[in-house]
Amino acid sequence: LPARGGAELVRKLFGPLGWSRVDAVAVPLDEQFPEWGDSRYVRLLLEGELRLADALRQLYVLLPVLDDAKHYWVSPDEVDKLLRAGEGWLADHPEQKLITSRYLARRWGLTRQAMERLELVRLAESDDLDVESIDNAVDETADTEERPVPLAEQRRTAILAALSGAGASRVLDLGCGQGQLVQALMKDVRFTEIVGVDVSMRALTIASRRLKLDRMGERQAARVTLQQGSLTYTDKRLKGYDAAVLSEVIEHLDLPRLPALEYAVFGSARPRTVLVTTPNVEYNVRWETLPAGHVRHGDHRFEWTRAEFRDWAGEVARRHGYTVEFVPVGPDDPEVGPPTQMAVFTMTAADETQKEAKAA
């Protein structure tokens, strides 16, 4: 099973649940190359005498918790599901907080609600508190509480604001993935031309479905293009736009390939404004359940500190005739900074004059 947190976490989760044997072993990435270390999979053998229904309810909760891939919007009825499946074992589990928080995709409002209800269950079991007072204690207004805005959404808001601030109307979304930003851009009439580029055909297919490209009216369809391409090669189709966005893309490139992307974007395509967002690795200590030293996504080739990002961005700006400013995205922690860092590059006036002269 895929297990973020490794064999040790698997043992911590199944250990207290009444099995006579919990055997968890990390699966190496490649047996022929032990120096590559472990994969994210663990081989788990459980032995014991449990009621099948109880064992299945544990697995129903703990497999997704270990996989830790739930990133979609989790609705409040997930709390009920968790409490139902957790009946008889979750209220007393030493890792209750981790289980609850991961199961509910780290939505803290829901996690707190679940933990409060579990606490009541525990009290009820020990003190004979009656069920009615448990139900009464569940805050009916909890659903209307403002839900924390997902970081991806905060990123899009920051990007839209920076693009408007720059007065951009023809925009490239480089490494557009499944098209969420393209979709947000389409909703604003100020963006008259939107081009999404990605190397992954699969991502583009999903993006096209999301945008309902095949059912779009002619005028809308004329505003948007999705095209396949790699950002590490110069591409004539990308020249002449007002702005380019690279949202959570650079960290997916191997570092030695980064200069090629730099040249393709800042040297060849040369839009007036370039926005680059990337994780701030310093913030990782604030993610409750991210093991120390782990990156946030399996495909991240690197994650930078604020200083590393500033150094890189400063150099790029200097080499290619841009100025650069930095904008925090998400809660700006006084110690470790924000979860996402954004650089806003603006072509310097001299360069723009040159470009206009060339065009003329």
175 binds ligand SAH (CB under 6 A): yes
Smaller CB distance to ligand SAH: residue 7 or 176? 176
Select from 117, 115, 154 the least CA-distant residue to 133: 117
CB of 304 to ligand SAH, least distance (A): 16
Q: How many residues make contact with ligand SAH (CB under 6 A)?
A: 16
289: exposed, middle or buried (C-beta count within 10 Å: 0-12, 13-18, 19+)?
A: middle
Residue 303 in contact with residue 319, Cβ under 8 Å?
no
Smaller CB distance to ligand SAH: residue 96 or 178? 178
Angle between helices 108-127 and 96-103 (to 10 degrees): 140
What are the backbone angles phi and psi of residue 246, rounded to the nearest 5°? -120, 90
Separation of alpha carbons 335 and 204, rounded Å: 38
CB contact set of 134 (below 8 Å; sequence gap of 6+) = 117, 120, 121, 124
Which range touches ligand SAH (CB under 6 A), out of 212-220, 242-250, 308-316, 320-328? 242-250
Instruction: Count CB-CB contacts under 10 A for residue 114.
Output: 26
Q: Which residue of 65, 166, 231, 342 would you call a contact of ligand SAH, by CB under 6 A? A: 231
Q: Which residue of 5, 86, 177, 321 would you call a contact of ligand SAH, by CB under 6 A? A: 177
Q: Residue 196 belongs to what H/E stretch?
A: strand 193-198
Which range touches ligand SAH (CB under 6 A), out of 5-13, 31-39, 109-117, 170-178? 170-178
CB of 185 to ligand SAH, least distance (A): 12
Helix, strand, coil: what percent of the chain each, to 5?
Answer: 50, 20, 35
Separation of alpha carbons 97 and 115, rounded Å: 7
Q: Residue 254 belongs to what H/E stretch?
A: none
CB of 201 to ligand SAH, least distance (A): 9
CB of 34 to ligand SAH, least distance (A): 29
For the chain, what's the residue count? Answer: 360
Which range touches ligand SAH (CB under 6 A), out of 28-36, 54-62, 80-88, 199-207? 199-207
CB of 115 to ligand SAH, least distance (A): 30
Query: What are 341's strand-pairing partners?
Result: 278, 328
Q: Which residue of 95, 198, 242, 303 would you call a contact of ligand SAH, by CB under 6 A? A: 198
- Touching ligand SAH, residues 248-267 (CB under 6 A): 248-249, 252-253
- Touching ligand SAH, residues 322-341 (CB under 6 A): none
Smaller CB distance to ligand SAH: residue 232 or 348? 232
- Kindly list the residues in this chain that would bind ligand SAH in the complex (CB under 6 A): 175-177, 180, 198-200, 203, 230-232, 247-249, 252-253
